[in-house]
Amino acid sequence: MSKVVFLSVLLSLVVNLFSAWFVPQTASAATLRQAATARNFLIGSAGSYWRFTNDASYQNLLANEFNLVTPENEMKWVATEPNQGKFTFYAADQMVKYAQSKGMRIHGHTLVWHQGLPAWVQNGNFTRDQLIAIMKNHIQTVVSRYKGKVQEWDVVNEAIEHKGNGLRDNIFLRVIGPEYIALAFQFAHEADPDAILYYNDYSTEIWPLKSSTQYSLLQGLVASGVPVNGVGLQMHEYTDTAIPLGTYANELSLLGNLGLRVSITEYDASGIQPASKTPDVRASIQAQNYSNALSACLSVAACKSFTTWGLADPFSFQPTFVPLMRDASMNPKPAYNSVLNTLQTF
């Protein structure tokens, strides 16, 4: 390189560096993550190691758009302890490594659930003491592995009967009794006293009986000193109309008033009779639902995060419902724009 060329390259480098530093940073946020981070809010998505292995564009999009990630299946019991006492953490470890490399917070999901549960737990004919010991070992092995890395956990998932009529009949209720819930929180807390521990369930924002059952359950746990810190509202919506902001806000503040942190943990919004509306109308109702739920969260101090259950429609657990913010080509839908706009302006 001649001296002249070298000097001109050097000069342009200096000019570029100076202008990058000097230009005022007024550009508006381009991604959900930037908009959420600017207001100190957590915007999340379910993400899956099994889906994103070898897919750099999925990995980058997820990290560009979200500052929180929930491993969709990798931390469930069937994934982490498929055989009794034989733990397999490869996929969960990859999720944690990925999230850490991208500076994302991790919402651990989930320790005790009637689904994603291996047959050996369901059909083992264990005594009460045995099942308590099995549950303790499972929870403590998983939580302590990720101590200081996974900041929050769905400890118990969907313990309430589908429509809210008491507790759900599952192997833990049958063998241990209702105390399995308090025990699960106690075990998780012993393994990581700093982790934020959630109870997580669905549809309480729209079904009054389920809302009151969940409220009583949590009120009882809090009153007896059980280490529960938060409640996750999944919010998988099935509707052809917009659910009002107030409906969402009522449920969020009800639980916030118990002194609990509240999070929207699995948001998506599906039409139930899609044929009755044009695609544009459906997309705009969906967008309204997303922004109403998010606005409600932003208006309730206890509500700390808004997570959608997947990056794009094909990755949804119900792909035919097209319930997410991006379409099959990964392009943003009106729901994406309404979420971005809500984060920027609400």
Residues 106/293/157/40 CA torsion (nearest 10 deg): 20
Which helix (H) or strand (E) segment holds residue 94: the answer is helix 90-101
List the helix and strand counts (H, then E) for the chain.
14, 9
Beta strands in the chain (DSSP E): 42-47, 68-71, 105-112, 152-157, 196-201, 230-233, 236-238, 261-270, 303-308
Q: In terms of CB distance, is 137 or 318 closer to ligand XIL?
A: 318
**Residue 266 near ligand XIL by CB under 6 A:** yes
The nearest distance, CB 198 to ligand XIL, in angstroms, is 11
Q: In terms of CB distance, is 67 or 73 closer to ligand XIL?
A: 73
Q: Kindly determine how many residues on this chain lie close enough to bind ligand XIL according to the rule CB under 6 A.
A: 6
Q: Which residues are catalytic?
A: 158, 266
Q: In terms of CB distance, is 114 or 149 closer to ligand XIL?
A: 114
What residues are paired with 15 via a beta bridge?
none
**Residue 270 near ligand XIL by CB under 6 A:** no
The residue at minimum Cβ distance from ligand XIL is: 317
The nearest distance, CB 48 to ligand XIL, in angstroms, is 7
The nearest distance, CB 203 to ligand XIL, in angstroms, is 11
The nearest distance, CB 309 to ligand XIL, in angstroms, is 6
CA distances from 193 to 76, 128, 153, 221, 228 (A): 21, 26, 12, 17, 11
Q: In terms of CB distance, is 78 or 173 closer to ligand XIL?
A: 78
The one-letter code for the residue type at 66 is F
Cα 157 to Cα 168: distance, rounded to the nearest angstrom = 11
The nearest distance, CB 45 to ligand XIL, in angstroms, is 12
Long-range pairs, 340-345, Cβ under 8 A, ≥24: 340/29, 340/31, 340/32, 340/35, 341/291, 342/290, 342/291, 342/294, 342/295, 342/298, 343/29, 343/32, 343/35, 343/36, 343/39, 343/41, 343/43, 343/294, 343/298, 344/28, 344/29, 344/35
Candidate residues 234, 263, 270, 307; the one interacting with ligand XIL per rule CB under 6 A: 234
Candidate residues 317, 319, 330, 332; the one interacting with ligand XIL per rule CB under 6 A: 317
The nearest distance, CB 234 to ligand XIL, in angstroms, is 6
The interface with ligand XIL within residues 69-108 (CB under 6 A) comprises 72-73
Q: In terms of CB distance, is 234 or 342 closer to ligand XIL?
A: 234
**Residue 204 near ligand XIL by CB under 6 A:** no
Question: Cβ(195)–Cβ(152) under 8 Å?
Answer: yes
Cα 220 to Cα 216: distance, rounded to the nearest angstrom = 6
Q: In terms of CB distance, is 234 or 295 closer to ligand XIL?
A: 234
Residue with token string 């060329």: 5
Residues 81/151/29/315 CA torsion (nearest 10 deg): 10
Quote the distance between the C-alpha of residue 21 and its chain's center: 36
The nearest distance, CB 14 to ligand XIL, in angstroms, is 51
Q: In terms of CB distance, is 87 or 317 closer to ligand XIL?
A: 317
The interface with ligand XIL within residues 119-158 (CB under 6 A) comprises 157
Binding mask 168-197 for ligand XIL (x = CB under 6 A): ------------------------------
- Binding residues (CB under 6 A) for ligand XIL: these are 72-73, 157, 234, 266, 317
